Amino acid sequence: MDTRTGLPVVGMVGGGQLARMTHQAAIALGQSLRVLSESPDDSAALVAADVRIGTHTDLAALREFAKGCDAVTFDHEHVPTEHIATLAAEGVKIYPGADAILYAQDKQQMRERLSALGAPVPRWRPVTSVEDITAFAAEQEAAGQGWPVVAKAVRGGYDGRGVWMLDGPGAAAELVATGTALIVEERVPLRRELAALVARSPFGQVAAYPVVETVQQNGICVEVLAPAPGLSEALAVEAQQLAIDLANALGVVGLLAVELFETEAGIVVNELAMRPHNSGHWTIEGARTSQFEQHLRAVLDYPMGETSLTAPAVVMANVLGGEPGGMSIDERLHHLFAADPGARVHLYGKQVRPGRKIGHVTVLGDDMTAVRARAVRAARWLQEGKE
Amino acid sequence: MDTRTGLPVVGMVGGGQLARMTHQAAIALGQSLRVLSESPDDSAALVAADVRIGTHTDLAALREFAKGCDAVTFDHEHVPTEHIATLAAEGVKIYPGADAILYAQDKQQMRERLSALGAPVPRWRPVTSVEDITAFAAEQEAAGQGWPVVAKAVRGGYDGRGVWMLDGPGAAAELVATGTALIVEERVPLRRELAALVARSPFGQVAAYPVVETVQQNGICVEVLAPAPGLSEALAVEAQQLAIDLANALGVVGLLAVELFETEAGIVVNELAMRPHNSGHWTIEGARTSQFEQHLRAVLDYPMGETSLTAPAVVMANVLGGEPGGMSIDERLHHLFAADPGARVHLYGKQVRPGRKIGHVTVLGDDMTAVRARAVRAARWLQEGKE
């Protein structure tokens, strides 16, 4: 409790853009987010009043950080579960808990648990050798697929890193030689990717957002379309129910983003994330309650906010850092504002590096095709300094 | 320019809730608002990363504050115009300029200038004695009105302070005896109050928001209805055009809020404000671009953002501090969230004192009557801890 305001203090471990946008939401709730940041120049550290410098693997730093926090949560999934469990045992309200976040940290545990729960997952296998992978490919072949197979690092992947398409035993051998703990999966014959976002409170209330389509390039999410165009009501409800069931079964507190493949046969779970998620940035303007406020409400056990859309069509496009040179980001912003006065811009205060997510743009309107074209154009302006 | 981000630095003089909400808008634009605050516990100082402690009447503090700012602006109108002029002469981009903000600081200068511009104003008179006031009342009597007359402090009034209804020479004598510089005005026979909000950039671009109705109690704005219900298109355009003309004529850079009386005969200017304004808080969720972002865009000479409504009916209700005792503000927030998951809450982190503005609630929907009832109920929950 902040004695100056009579309102709670939430601590977020990690100083990236997710903490930055959570701070914006905290301000509206009368709070000021406490941030544990690696560096004073991190995205959230540039804008938050209560910044502590430290690293998420340091238990002493986490313990010190948690003092005086009504709840502690995360802007990433890299805090060791043993530290989370230790703090929880010491009385810190830390969400999501170690038993839940494990499934966002470890793809093998996640696949095992989801299989046990009967959730739809791709055919998969933990592997430790080239022989394991080749055997899996042979089984795939029998099922009509064969090489390439998808290999994933059990831990630490994001934004396309930690995922490989193996086209044969040679590539498998190379990857196995790195010593990375791996699982392999079938290449799911997907129509497109979807995401179902829910938030769950300790009280057990769950709120579900409309299901969205996510568009990926090189493993990085570049666009999110809300609601997912042409998705049947039945499949939308199925995806929402799946996310709700998983949040309950895994005991998630806070946000749970379920990344899904849509196939001819239905939906399949790709990944889980337990924090504000890129597939939910559109909610800042596009939903009645943003995912960032919802996450705060969840970890503080406030009742959940309304999740309905504020416009018939909402598109979020990520802004990736472009090649150096040319117009400055500030000049690009001038041009974009002149070209599209209705585009909603979010810049993260990050140094521009090629391919790095440095911001996003959201456009709202009545027609998905028109809205999408505007969002893509706006993101391209900021990314490349031209249309 | 912030060398860490390549984006501009705006300094805002004053650490109240307007600076607090401007910081939220700055974060989206990749910036971090620099705040000159009287105390580290001020509303904006609790949440901003770059807070300097100092007072707005101290030229040396203002000069130091302005160093490294791409633009300097204000969360209130109390900075002495001579300081603003001095900083401008020294090369600081400080908006609105001394020649403009004068008309938001000094009601006599404002009335004289508006009269000279031919803008609709109430009958008014500068007064220095009881005789002046009695003579004005006699003229009013001849026009069919007589006592009471409205007296206003030339400088320093806000939220109903600095405004008096004088019911006769006795009250006039008492007020004159305080030595306050005064003007008197007719009691305008008003239907209701309106506000027209525009933003103007140094380039000269002006963007106008939909005209709203403001509902006052004891001189304090308690509700804002957007758009003003039942306002004719002709009168709405007239009010917007008036605000645009005034922004141009006075050379305002940033926001200009024109508070208006609607009478049988048309609109009459009540007050001017040159900063984010309570009558514009609804724009955070209710307009495509919030007034706070618009103000930043204006003082940085970015192109203006779209001002259209995001829903057919938007109502903002202020939350005033209630009597001490009963439920804590945090408990009240729990109850409100349970009662209305769609209400958008903004708390300012201020100590609760009876009658003090400590936050606001915004509700959006299709039907103004229903939306208004929800907003009033939500504000009452936070204010009184009950419906």
- Does residue B297 sit in helix, strand or coil? helix
Residues in contact with A371: Cβ distance below 8 Å, sequence separation at least 6, in sequence order: A313, A314, A315, A363, A364, A365
B94-to-B49, B206, B227 alpha-carbon distances in Å: 21, 18, 32
Residues whose CB falls within 8 Å of the CB of residue B92, separated by 6 or more in sequence, listed in order: B66, B69, B72
Name the DSSP letter for residue B280.
Answer: G
Confidence of residue B387 (pLDDT cuts 50, 70, 90): low
Q: Is residue A267 located within the same domain as residue A306?
A: yes
Q: Identify the domain boundary among B94, B109, B141.
A: B94
Contacts of B332 (CB under 8 A, 6+ apart): B381, B382, B385
Work out the average pLDDT over B90-106. Answer: 97
Rg for chain A (alpha carbons), in Å?
Answer: 21
Please say if the pLDDT value at position A214 is more than 80.
yes
Q: Which tokens hold the place of B194? A: 């309106």
Rounded Cα–Cα distance for residues B221 and A29 (Å): 21
Inter-chain residue contact B27 with A24, CB threshold 8 Å: yes
User: Residue B149: what pLDDT?
Assistant: 95
Do A229 and A373 belong together in one domain?
A: yes
User: Can you tell me whether residue A201 is helix, strand or coil?
Assistant: coil
Residue A273 burial class via C-beta count within 10 angstroms: exposed 0-12, middle 13-18, buried 19 and up: buried
Instruction: Tally the C-alpha atoms within 13 A of residue A360's C-alpha that lie toward its C-beta.
Output: 24
DSSP-derived letter for residue A104 is: H
Residue percentage of chain B with pLDDT more than 70: 99
B48 reaches A (C-beta below 8 A): yes
Q: How far apart are CA B261 and CA B263, in angstroms?
A: 6
Q: Which of A135, A160, A185 is the last residue of a domain?
A: A185
Phi, psi of A218 (to 5 degrees): 55, 35
CA distance A226 to A222: 14
The amino acid sitting at A113 is R
B381, B318, B374: which is closest to B350 by C-alpha?
B318
Whether A337 and A238 share a structural domain: yes
Q: How far is CA A161 from CA A94, A154, A279, B113, B279, in A?
A: 28, 12, 17, 64, 48
Task: Tell me: is residue B271 an annotated ligand-binding position.
Answer: yes
Report helix, strand or coil for B371: helix
Task: Tell whether B163 and B76 lie within a shared domain.
Answer: no
Beta strands in A103-211 (DSSP E): 124-127, 149-153, 163-166, 182-185, 190-200, 206-208
ipTM score for this prediction: 0.96
Contact (CB, 8 A) for A16 and A76: yes
User: Other CB atoms closer than 10 Å to residue A157's CB: what's the count?
Assistant: 16
Q: Does residue A86 have a pLDDT over 90?
A: yes
Given a contact cutoff of 8 angstroms between Cβ atoms, the answer to whether B223 and B372 are in contact is: yes
| Chain A contact probe: residue of B46, B319, B371 with most A CBs at under 10 A | B46
**Residue B262 sits in the same domain as residue B349:** yes
- Residue B264 annotated in ligand binding: no
For residues A128 and A213, state if they share a domain.
no
- A372 burial (CB, 10 Å; 0-12 / 13-18 / 19+) is buried
Closest CA to A24 of B108, B242, B290: B290
If asked whether residues A44 and A154 sit together in one domain, one would say no
Are the C-beta atoms of residues A303 and A342 closer than 8 Å to each other?
no
Residue A174 pLDDT greater than 80, yes or no = yes
- Whether A106 is covered by a domain: the verdict is no
Interface residue A41 vs chain B (CB under 8 A): yes
Residues B157 and B227 in one domain: no
Q: Which of A67, A69, A23 has the alpha carbon at shortest distance from A47?
A: A23
**DSSP strand pairing (B71-74 vs B10-13):** parallel
- B6-25 pLDDT, tens digit per residue, is 999 999 999 999 999 999 99
B5 touches chain A (CB under 8 A): yes
Residue from A50, A332, A333, A350 whose CB has the most chain B CBs within 10 Å, to mutate = A333
Residue B111 in domain: no
Cβ-contact B200, B247 below 8 angstroms: yes
Residue B236 backbone class (left: φ over 0; alpha: ψ -120 to 50; beta: rest) = alpha
> What is the interface size between A and B, counted as CB pairs within 8 Å?
162
Residue B206 structure tokens? 């002006």
8 Å CB contact of B342 and A31: no
Tell me which of B157, B185, B213 is where a domain ends.
B185
Q: Which candidate from B5, B20, B330 shows the least CB-CB separation from A7?
A: B330
Q: What is the pLDDT of residues B303-319, one digit of tens each?
A: 999 999 999 999 999 99
Is A30–B329 a contact, with Cβ atoms under 8 angstroms apart? yes
Q: Sorting pLDDT into bands at 50, 70 and 90, what band is B144? A: confident
Residues of A in Cβ contact (< 8 Å) with B51: 49
Phi, psi of B140 (to 5 degrees): -65, -40
Residue A181 sits in which domain range? 123-185
The strand pairing partners of B163, in sequence order, are B152
User: What is the identity of the amino acid at A208?
Assistant: A
Asked if residue B220 and residue B150 are part of one domain, the reply reads no
Average pLDDT over residues B255-262: 98
Q: Would residue A71 count as lying in a domain?
A: yes
User: CA angle, corner A255, sides to A238 and A263, nearest 5?
Assistant: 30
Residue B109 lies in a domain: no
Burial of B122 (0-12, 13-18, 19+ CB in 10 A): middle
Closest CA to B303 of A384, A379, A349, A340: A340
Q: Is B289 on the interface with A (CB under 8 A)?
A: yes
Note the pLDDT tens digit of each residue in B333-348. Answer: 999 999 999 999 999 9
Domain at A34, CATH number: 3.40.50.20
What are A333-375's pLDDT values in tens digits? Answer: 999 999 999 999 999 999 888 889 999 999 999 999 999 999 9
Residue of B nearest to A346 (CA): B28
Q: Does B375 fall in a domain?
A: yes
The answer to the question of whether B218 is labelled as a binding residue is no
Q: Under DSSP, is residue B355 helix (H, G, I), strand (E, B) or coil? A: coil
Same-domain status, A157 and A32: no
For B50-89, write each residue's pLDDT tens digit: 999 999 999 999 999 999 999 999 999 999 999 999 999 9
DSSP state of B278: G
Report yes or no on A15 lying in a domain. yes
Considering only CB atoms, which chain A residues are within 8 Å of B71? none
Query: Would you tell me how many other CB atoms lie within 10 Å of the CB of residue B137?
Result: 22
Dihedrals phi, psi of A381, to nearest 5 degrees: -55, -45
In this structure, the answer to whether residues A196 and A147 fall within a common structural domain is no
Q: CA-CA distance, B250 to A192, in Å (whole number)? A: 55
How confident is the model over A250-299, as pLDDT tens digits? 999 999 999 999 999 999 999 999 999 999 999 999 999 999 999 999 99
H helices present in chain B, as ranges: 17-28, 59-66, 81-89, 98-105, 107-116, 130-142, 169-177, 233-250, 283-286, 291-299, 329-339, 368-384
The CATH number given to whatever domain includes residue A138 is 3.30.1490.20
* Cβ-contact A13, A62 below 8 angstroms: yes
Is B16 within a domain?
yes
Residue B268 pLDDT greater than 90, yes or no: yes
Q: Are residues A138 and A278 in the same domain?
A: no
The answer as to whether B316 is a domain residue is: yes
Domain count, chain A: 3
A186 is in an annotated binding site: yes
B154 pLDDT higher than 80? yes
Residue A159 has pLDDT above 80, yes or no: no
Instruction: Give A387's pLDDT tier (boundaries 50, 70, 90).
Output: low
Q: Does A325 touch chain B (CB under 8 A)?
A: no
- Three-state DSSP at B361 gives strand
